[in-house]
A and B are shown apart, each in its own frame.
Chain A
Amino acid sequence: MTALTGLSIAAVRDGLAERDFTALELAREHLRSIEKARHLNAFITETPEIALARAKESDARRAKGKALGPMDGVPIAIKDLFCTASVPTTAGSHILDGFTPTYESTVTAKLKAAGAVMLGKTNMDEFAMGSSNMTSYHGPVKNPWRPKGREKRDKNLVPGGSSGGSAAAVAAGLAPAAIGTDTGGSIRQPASFCGIVGMKPTYGRCSRWGIVAFASSLDQAGPFARSVEDTAILLAAMAGHDPKDSTSAPVAVPDFQAALKKSAKGLKVGIPKEYTMDGMPAAIDALWKRGVAWMQAQGAECREVSLPHTAYALPTYYIVAPAEASSNLARYDGVRFGLRVDEGGTLDEMYAATRGEGFGAEVRRRVLIGTYVLSAGYYDAYYLKAQKVRALIAEDFRKAFEAVDVLLTPTAPSAAFAIGDKMDDPVAMYLNDVFTVPASLAGLPAISLPAGLDADGLPLGLHLIAKPFDEETLFRAAAALEEACSFDAHPPGFGGSP
């Protein structure tokens, strides 16, 4: 029997259909690999009972000839930001201690209905605020990749964030796929750091109902997997209009897989000149150039485009996102659920003690920034101006997409860095999202795929951005790029290998 833990969704789908193995065997193998890789700290809550029960149900359906579709029996990991009925949901925060939802998020409910097998809830930056997974109350996740030749010596690397646990789990072969959320790069940057594919759909493509909110106008659920095709399969099971989320778009879900089969011939690829940054590592610049060549080799036309307001994207993001977060996180007050720190003082003292102890430093920082930028006297200068710049950024993209079909950029300005780095410099940490944030602000679909290794043997990602609700073109371009760069590296210990 082949190692079940290294299989793609497509291979799992086919293997189950061919009765090469059962969903139960798959679930058991993956649960075993999760157990063996606990040192990675990729999971906050493992859910073996649920996994085994759902796997059995899947096998039973299949035995009756009633398999549900490509996700039936496929094990997946769920970012602990998705509320899951009767399974603790922490959002990586101390303040949600003891919180077990009675309800299931729309996205995880859809996956459950599609027969997917939940393995557990993955670790993440607290309330999805972070780019390193260092802000989790449940401790940092270790990136399964190690610098070549210094595996034993060097400190462990971060998996990126905020969906670091999901990315690390997929990279390490603990799950064929996982779901995460992306607010400013929280799927794409960890995908790049962990050498896997991570995709953020158009804002409104997936329902936000039941996802613990960070920044409502930016948050979007998306898939992680080890191939473009797998992310397309997984997204199809997650997407769709939800009347419970007023910002979810009432548009049909197209056949993403069909789009993969189209050639990239004639595709117009834009290379935004403003994404060339001072001090960008040579390896990243070189990979970007290779990406252009790969796309050309696949028959695409590449041309330079301009997104003039790019430089303002990061500051704009760090006003809009904290502003929304400061309000979204007001409900964590110790009154109805989660942690309450009550030292017998006044109500205001209870609020302050609960939130002071329940929230970590980064969350407190962003709540303070958000409160500040919305305050009387500062609102116009910060929040209102940021909203205006956000509209200009979206307009930049709209104009660029009059000439091209997709944009190609690096995903992140560096490879994964060591645990503990950049912790004393929040701005340096925020710079991780410099290439991913603009598409977030414009609500555009974007994907990161592993395209090469740097000198240390660490994965680097390339990033494609498409028009709103044009995930088909995004997948088509990504499949072409994936084929061209034929990345097939895995971290040590992948799928239980020694």
Chain B
Amino acid sequence: MSYLVKGERGDWEAVVGLEVHAQIVSNAKLFSGAATQFGAAPNTQVSLVDAAMPGMLPVLNGHCVAQAVRTGLGLKAKINTRSVFERKNYFYPDLPHGYQISQYSQPIVGEGAVLLDMADGSTRTIGIERLHMEQDAGKSLHDQDPNRTFIDLNRAGVALMEIVSRPDIRSPEEAGLYLRKLRSILRYLGTCDGNMEEGSMRADVNVSVRPKGSNELRTRAEVKNVNSVRFVMQAIEAEAARQVAVYDAGGQVTQETRLYDSDAGETRPMRIKEFAHDYRYFPDPDLLPLVLTDEYIRKIEADLPELPDAKKQRFIADYGLSPYDAQVLAAERETANYFERVAKGRDAKQAANWVTGVLFAHVNETGKSIDASPIGPEALGQLLDLINAGTISGRIAKEVFADMAATGKPAKDIVAARGLTQISDAGAIEVAVDKVIAANPKQAADVRAGKAKTIGWLVGQVMKATGGKANPQMVNELLKRKLGG
């Protein structure tokens, strides 16, 4: 169902494109050997190059180039064998050179695509326009002193990929799906940790609106530097509503840069001064054009892991999972690996149900990642084995799972220690069945008279009497035999 904003004279559609800044996973910066660790003390990860000392020169970090190419290939994009670093010139205290080295007219990666997994199991393609490499700026600290601004250059020069989507996104939900999918791909590739809280991923959101059914592209506003999926979704909602209101009032949307205020739930224009730049891009004469060979690209391609889309398809084909379960399990590499280890040699659907059901519930509850869960895939697999061997029932298994999570002990130890083993001894069950029949003559008579449904109630009574340990199938059979049901 499409997302529409109600206007005074009809419905409006949102047209959204995202520019995602993703920090490249790399120990060193894009053009210097300084470290990139998050959370280090201010100005402890700054080289002479990062501080733009006179005479210092940038040297391109080859690892970052490989990461960008890897990402491009993961986005099924064209890799440009020749790309150029340019200088984007503007003055700001946290930009020591007075320019940012970026790629402009000739980026390293061209057009690609990201597939969105829609709630109804269908997919939708969002085009990628380009990916380019650039340096991050430092950080201005305005809250350390009443009169002065301090500068932390630890981030200055850190390698970023800017991934620009086409304006193919039509709703806040799609924007959320896009960001999560992009993050999932980047994490699979190991090229960005996708950690939005630490600023490893930030988005600039381009929003315009148009009357429903129209194909025009109206003036857009750019909401800068939004740092969570939720805020991106909220910003689109707020900005689309604002623009519709502007048009309804007979006004025009102006092309401008805005900020999203999550407390107020609205976007606001940035101060004119912060964006009225003529960046005077020109090729950085300190760096040669970046030329890649086909062989280099092929080598990186050969090393790509299976990505979420391929994994999802394989889960559907090989394990017979539903598209939804397959997508949920494939979204994170850790989850997918966990699932596959549980499913190995077992009933895959049962494994999927347990992972997406009981395990996810537990992981969400504890706030831990699946890798940090006290129940590893082998332990969960052993639990499922006990169910399938008839040692415990599914209901008991959930209790055992809770115990495993609390104690970290293997399933069979818990089952043994707590005496939860299912009673499959026909003699013991018969005693229990006879007792239940004797205690409930009316219901027994009903069954004998052909009321088949009542047999279920009697099974329940036997199970209750045995503390849930009786093998329900055996109880059922015994009752039927004795009551002729």
Contact = CB atoms under 8 A, between A and B. Distances in A.
Given A330-B91, A375-B280, A246 B286 contact: yes
Contacts of B55: 82-83, 101, 103, 105, 208-213
Nearest to A208: B57
A156 to B, nearest CB: 30
Interface string A362-380: 0000000001001110010
B59 A333 contact: no
Contacts of A247: 285-288
Contacts of B151: 335
Taking each of A82, A91, A101, which has the highest tally of chain B beta carbons within 10 Å of its own beta carbon?
A101
Given A247-B286, A247-B288, A371 B54 contact: no
B59 A331 contact: no
A89 B97 contact: no
A320 B242 CA distance: 45
A66 to B, nearest CB: 31
A481 interface: no
Interface string A311-352: 000000000000110110111010111000000000110010
A289 interface: no
Contact of B286 (A96, A216, A323, A379): A216
B278 A376 contact: yes
B275 to A, nearest CB: 14
Given A327-B99, A335-B151, A347-B93, A209 B282 contact: no
Taking each of B93, B278, B285, which has the highest tally of chain A beta carbons within 10 Å of its own beta carbon?
B285
B437 interface: no
Contacts of B99: 327, 330
A430 interface: no
A243 B287 CA distance: 12
B48 A330 contact: no
A333 B54 contact: no
A246 B288 contact: yes
B280 A337 contact: no
Contact of A324 (B93, B96, B285): B285
B87 interface: yes
B134 to A, nearest CB: 16
A382 to B, nearest CB: 11
B89 A330 contact: yes
Contacts of A35: none
Given A102-B48, A324-B282, 12 more contacts: A83-B54, A89-B54, A103-B55, A212-B54, A326-B280, A327-B98, A330-B91, A330-B98, A331-B54, A335-B93, A347-B149, A383-B282
Given A101-B53, A217-B285, A374 B280 contact: yes
Contacts of B53: 101, 103, 336-337
Secondary structure at chain A's binding surface: helix, strand, loop or mixed? Answer: loop
A324 B288 CA distance: 15
A188 B98 CA distance: 32
Interface string B329-352: 000000000000000000000000
Contacts of A383: 282
A99 interface: yes
Taking each of A102, A324, A331, A336, which has the highest tally of chain B beta carbons within 10 Å of its own beta carbon?
A331
24 contacts: A89-B54, A102-B48, A211-B55, A216-B285, A216-B286, A244-B57, A245-B57, A246-B288, A247-B286, A326-B280, A327-B87, A327-B280, A327-B282, A330-B99, A331-B52, A333-B93, A335-B96, A335-B151, A337-B53, A371-B280, A376-B280, A379-B280, A379-B282, A383-B282
A478 interface: no
Nearest to B153: A336
Contacts of A91: 54
B106 to A, nearest CB: 14
Contacts of B52: 331, 336
Interface string A242-254: 0111110000000
A215 interface: yes
Secondary structure at chain B's binding surface: helix, strand, loop or mixed? Answer: loop
Contacts of B97: 330-331
Interface in B48-88: 48, 51-60, 87
Contacts of B51: 336
A342 B96 CA distance: 18
B22 to A, nearest CB: 25
Nearest to B282: A374
Contacts of A324: 282, 285
A331 B96 contact: yes
Taking each of A101, A244, A330, A347, which has the highest tally of chain B beta carbons within 10 Å of its own beta carbon?
A330
Interface in A467-487: none
A353 to B, nearest CB: 13
Interface residues of B, number: 29
A489 B203 CA distance: 69
Contacts of A217: 285
Contacts of A83: 54-55
Interface in A189-214: 208-213
A191 B374 CA distance: 77
A244 B54 contact: no
Contacts of B87: 327
Contact of B57 (A246, A351, A375): A246
B91 A323 contact: no
B54 A374 contact: no
Nearest to B60: A246
Nearest to B93: A335
A208 B151 CA distance: 28
A246 B59 contact: yes
Taking each of B54, B60, B280, B282, which has the highest tally of chain A beta carbons within 10 Å of its own beta carbon?
B54
B28 to A, nearest CB: 14
Given A330-B91, A330-B99, A374-B89, A103 B60 contact: no
A241 to B, nearest CB: 13
A262 B55 CA distance: 37
A375 B278 contact: yes
B54 A101 contact: yes
Contacts of A336: 51-53, 96
B90 to A, nearest CB: 9
* A-B residue pairs, 7 tightest by C-beta: A330-B98, A216-B285, A374-B280, A217-B285, A331-B52, A210-B55, A212-B54
Contacts of A379: 280, 282
Nearest to A375: B278
Nearest to A330: B98
Contacts of A215: 285
Interface string B181-200: 00000000000000000000
Interface string B92-108: 01001111000000000
A266 B429 CA distance: 115
A326 B53 CA distance: 16
A96 B89 contact: no
A58 B59 CA distance: 34
B150 to A, nearest CB: 11
A27 B473 CA distance: 105
Interface in A217-251: 217, 243-247
Nearest to A127: B54
A99 to B, nearest CB: 7
A317 to B, nearest CB: 14
Nearest to B31: A246
A330 B100 CA distance: 11
A343 to B, nearest CB: 15
A217 B98 CA distance: 18
Nearest to B90: A330
Contacts of A102: 48
Contacts of A327: 87, 89, 98-99, 280, 282
A387 to B, nearest CB: 8
B56 A209 contact: yes
B59 A244 contact: yes
B98 A331 contact: yes
